[in-house]
Structure 1
Amino acid sequence: MTDTEPDLRTLPLPEALAWLREHGEPADPRPDIDTASLKRRFPRLAHVRTRDLVVAAPSGPQPARLYRDDTAAHAGAALVWVHGGAFIGGHLDMPESNWVALELAARGIPVLAVDYVKCLGDVHFPAPSDDVLAAWRFARERSAELFGVEPGALLLGGASAGGNLTAGAAARLRDAGERLPAGLVLVYPALDPDGAHPGAVPDPSSPTAQLSLNFAGSEARLHDPHAFPGLGSVGGFPPSLVVVCEHDGLRPSGEAFAARLANAGRDATLHVEPDADHAHINEPSHPGAARTLDAIAGWIAGRW
C-alpha cells in the first residue's frame, strides 16, 4: 500500500467499492510473495511449472493458471482452486492462490487456480458463481490434458469467499443433475450471511452482513442456498474437508457446515488450525499455513 492508497479494510463498504472500481486492486506491498521469491524461500517448489490460461466465462474471459510438478509422485487427483477476497478482491498472484497452488503441486497434486468477476457494486450473485462453474466445466472437459487424471478424480476447493463459491457451485451442480466434484476442500469458508452466527438473521450494520448483501444483491438473495450454501441441503454432497481457524470469526460457519454434513451421513472431515486466524494461508510465513497445506494434501492423497 502506497501513501496514496487507503487501507480498504477501514473504509465504509461503498467507499471501498468506489475506490476499487476506479483504481483496481492495490498492489501487495510484500516484496517476497512473487513466484521467484517463493521458490527461493521454499526450494521444494523449484520444479513446479505454471501455465497461464483463459476461461471463457459468462462474465467475460477469466484468467486461470495451471500448476504441475512432474518430478513429484502424482497423488492421483487434481484440484480446481478458488481464492477469496470478500467477493470484492483477490487475484491469481495473491499467496492464497499462487503459493497454495505451488505448494500443492509440489506435493503431487496438480492445481488449476481460477479467477472470477468481483462484486463491485454493479455485479452480484450469481455472476461470480457462474464464472466458477465455467472454470469447473473447463477443467473437467480437459482433465486428462491439464492434470493427467480422469474427470472423476478432480476436486474443487476454495478459501473464504472462494469456499462459498466452491460449495455453492457443488449445490448448483447437484441440483442441475450434473456430475459433482470427487471432493470439496473448504478453507475458512464464508457459507452463511453471518458467518459468526450461522442460521441467524445478520445484523445489517455489521461489516460481514454488508459484504454478504453486496454479494447477494438483495435481501431476498440472503436466503438463497446457492448463494449461501450453509443455508441449504447438504444431501448428495461429495466427501468434504472443512478447515477452520481457532481465532477466526467465521469459524462457526465452517464448523456448522461440517456438522451438518456429518449429521446427513456425508463424508466430512473438520480440521481446526490452532493459533490461526482468517486468511492465514495468504501468509506463507505463518506456521499454521504449512500445517493447513499438509492437512489438505494428506486428505487428498488419502482418498486415492
Structure 2
Amino acid sequence: MPVHPTVAAKLAPLADLPSWREAMADPALRPRLDEFRDWPPAAGLPTVDTKDDAAPGPHGPVPVRVYRGRPEPHRPALVWMHGGGFVFGDLDMAEADWTAREVAARAGAVVVSVDYRLAVGGVRYPVPHDDVVAAIRWVRDNAEALGIDPARITVAGASAGGNLATGAVLRLRDDDGWLPARLVPVYATLHAAVPTPSPSLAAALTELPPVARFTPEERAKLVADYVGPDREPDGYAMPAQAELAGLCPTLLINAEYDLLRASAEAFAKALARSDVDSEVVTIASMLHGFLSLPASVSPVDETLTLLAETILR
C-alpha cells in the first residue's frame, strides 16, 4: 500500500536532509525535521486523570506518569515506554502522552508511562534498562494502590522503548520468576544488527528520503549510544540475543515502511521456535514512529484500538 497521504504530504522537505541525527544537531536543518515530526493533536484527544509519581530504582527515582481511564478498582494496566533512539524523548512527547491518554480512555485502563534515563552524558546500558525494570516492578508491587488487576498488566513500548520493554520482561522472567499478561513491542529495535530486509521491504524503503528510514550506519550509532562503542550487547540489551523460551504472549506491531520491521519479523520467528505464543501485525502505509501522529490518522486510530483491545483480553 502507498505511504499514507497525510504522511506523504510532509515528506518533501526531508528530501535532501542527511540522517536524523545530523539534522537534529544542525540549527539550519532542525526546523525542517521538526516540521515533519510535529503534528497537532487530534481534536478529540481524551482528557483523563493523570498523576506524576516516581518508582524507586537502583540509579535513583524513575519518574512515571499515571493515567486513569476510569476510577474503578481492578482495572487492566499498560506500562508504556516511549521511543527516541535511546537518546531523546520524555513523558510529554506525543508518542508518550497521546498514546497513554488514548489507550487509558479506550480501555478504561491504568496506563503508566515511564521516563527512563536516556543514553546521554555518559549514561549507558544497563541504566535505562534498570529504570524500566524498576518501574514495572513498582507497578506490579503497587497494583492495589494503583487500582490495577495484577493479573492484567501489559508491558509495551515503541522503538527503543519496545527494546526496553522486551529486555525488562526477560529480566523479570529470569530474576523474579514473574511475567506480565502480555508484551507488545511496537516498531521495536530488537537486534544489534538488523537482519536483511525482505525484497519487498527493501523496495518499499527506497520510496522514502534517507532521513525517514534507518541505515546500517545509523543503527550502529544507536546501539553504540546505548551499550557503548566497544561493548557487545547481551540479551537484555538486545533481546534477539536472549533465550526466549518461557516468555509471555507477545504481540509485535510493525510499520509497513520501516527497516525495523525486519527485526520484529525475525524476532517473531525466534519466538515461534521457542514455542512462545506470538502474533505480528503490520500497520499498512505507516512509517517508523507513527504513534507520534494524532488518532485522526486512521492507521494510528486502528493501532490505538488494537492496543486497548489487547490489554483488555
Could you say whether these structures have the same fold, taking a TM-score greater than 0.5 normalized by the shorter chain as the test? yes
Alignment of 1:74-93 (within 5 A): 76-93=75-92
- The answer as to whether partners of 1:87 and 1:215 remain within 8 angstroms in 2 is yes
The equivalent residue for 2:222 is: 211
Distance 2:98 2:189 in 1: 21
1:179 matched to which residue of 2? 178
Whole-Å Cα distance in 1 between the matches of residues 152 and 54 of structure 2?
Answer: 22
Instruction: Note closer, same or farther for the CA distance 1:8–1:104 as it changes in structure 2 (3 Å cut).
Output: farther
1:149 offset after TM fit, Å?
2.6
Residue 156 (structure 1) shift: 0.9
1:27–1:259 CA distance, 2 compared to 1 (3 A): same
1:197/1:123 CA distance change after superposition, 3 Å: farther
CA RMSD of aligned residues (A): 2.8
Shift, 1:168, TM fit = 0.4
Q: Is the 8 A contact 2:162 2:189 kept in 1?
A: yes
Superposition pairs of residues 282-301 of structure 1, within 5 angstroms: 282-284=292-294, 285-301=296-312
Tell me how far apart the structure 1 counterparts of residues 272 and 44 of structure 2 sit (CA, whole Å): 36
Q: Distance in 2 between matches of 1:237 and 1:100?
A: 25
Q: Which amino acid aligns with 2:68?
A: R
Q: Which has the higher contact order (CA 8 A, sep 6+)?
A: 2
Inter-partner Cα distance in structure 2 for 1:205 and 1:276: 20
The whole-number CA distance in structure 2 between the counterparts of 1:211 and 1:55 is 26
1:244 match:
254
Counterpart CA distance in 1 for 2:311 and 2:114 is 19
Q: Deviations over 1:148-182 (max 9, x none)?
A: 23322211111100000010011111222431111
Structure 2 residue 128 is the aligned partner of structure 1 residue 128: yes
Partner of 1:123, secondary structure, is coil
Q: Which runs of 5+ in 1 are unaligned?
A: 1-6, 20-25, 199-203
Distance 1:207 1:252 in 2: 15
Q: Which residue of 2 aligns with 1:109?
A: 109
Matched residues, number: 272
Per-residue deviation, 1:263: 2.6
Ranges in structure 2 where 5+ consecutive residues have no aligned partner: 1-16, 28-33, 198-214
Q: State TM-score, norm by structure 1.
A: 0.81
Which of 262, 268, 279 in structure 1 is aligned with 2:278? 268
Q: In structure 2, do the counterparts of structure 1 residues 136 and 10 end up closer, same or farther at CA, with 3 Å as the change threshold?
A: closer
Whether the aligned pair in 1 keeps the contact of 2:196 and 2:262 (CA below 8 Å) is yes
How far, CA to CA, are the matches of 1:75 and 1:99 in structure 2? Answer: 23
Deviations 1:225-244 (A, max 9, x none): 11100122211100111100
Which of structure 1's runs of 4+ aligned residues deviate more than 6 A? Answer: 26-29
CA contact (8 A) 2:52 2:65 kept: yes
Alpha-carbon spacing, 1:103–1:193, altered in 2? closer, same or farther (3 Å)? same
Match of residue 52 from structure 1: 52
Query: 2:73, 2:125 → 1: CA distance?
Result: 36
Alpha-carbon distance between aligned partners in 1 of 2:56 and 2:267, rounded to the nearest angstrom: 31
Change (3 A) 1:8 1:127: farther
> CA contact under 8 A between 1:64 and 1:115: conserved in structure 2?
yes
Structure 1 residue 192, shift from structure 2 partner: 0.7
**Whole-Å Cα distance in 2 between the matches of residues 103 and 161 of structure 1?**
20
Aligned to 2:179, the other structure's residue is in SS state coil
- The answer for the alignment partner of 1:258 in structure 2 is 268
- Percent identity between the aligned chains? 37
AA matched with 1:299: T
Q: 2:7 aligns to what?
A: none
SS in 2 for 1:136: helix
Give the corresponding residue for 1:67: 67
Instruction: Map Cα deviations across residues 33-90 of structure 1 (whole Å, 9 max, x no partner).
Output: 4xxxx5xx116x24x111111222233333211111227x999521111101000001
Letter in 1 for 2:180: P
